[in-house]
Homo-oligomer: A and B are copies of this chain.
Amino acid sequence: MSKESPRRTELLALAARLFAERGYVSTTVRDIADAAGILSGSLYHHFDSKESMADEILRGFLDELFGTYAEIEAAELGPRRTLEAVVVASFDAIHRRPHEVAIYQNEAKHLAQSERFSYLDERNTEFRRLWNRILTDGVRAGVFREDLDVELVYRFLRDTVWVAVRWYNPEGPLAADAVAKQYLGILLDGIATGRRRAGK
């Protein structure tokens, strides 16, 4: 049960892939064991439950992700560049940890109901504060439209960024960075031609 074994890391990566592909509940411990070429009981030499596998996967991912966000905020780039950096960092996370992002997207809501995964809600709150800060700062600084419903824009942003994990292919021709730039183009300037209408 030592946390440093390479075999253990391997099994965790396998579990993450299966959780992402089939969903947490639909993935059985036998599925994971089969993929690893061992019997289901043998998994319990490395982990003490299926739940603790998901826990470890999500914890590691979120710690890394929010570490990156903290660095971006600390750099104090101003609202617009901070927004761009956070979006780029999020797409980068989709590129490097697609399975973890998928699990976070698809299972967080159900898992968060359990006491053990209460940190998921905390992270959500943290994320929401981050976006609200960026947006309100931007509106105040005059770089974002002042008629924005900040709370609504936050939801759109959050969803828009993460939901890309459903179709993004890390090995495809479209790099995460390019997708991020396209997204930012739409988000910041819209898809319509011509001058913006005044007011709302």
* Chain A contacts to B: CB under 8 angstroms: 22-23, 25-26, 80, 106, 109-110, 142-146, 148-149, 152-153, 155-156, 159-160, 163-164, 166-167, 174, 179, 182-183, 185-194, 196-197, 200
Contact = CB atoms under 8 A, between A and B. Distances in A.
A160 B149 CA distance: 16
B192 A188 contact: yes
A173 to B, nearest CB: 12
A183 to B, nearest CB: 7
A191 B149 CA distance: 10
A183 B164 contact: no
Given A160-B156, A163-B160, A163-B163, A190 B193 contact: no
Given A163-B163, A185-B200, A189-B190, 8 more contacts: A22-B110, A23-B110, A144-B191, A145-B192, A148-B191, A152-B182, A155-B167, A189-B189
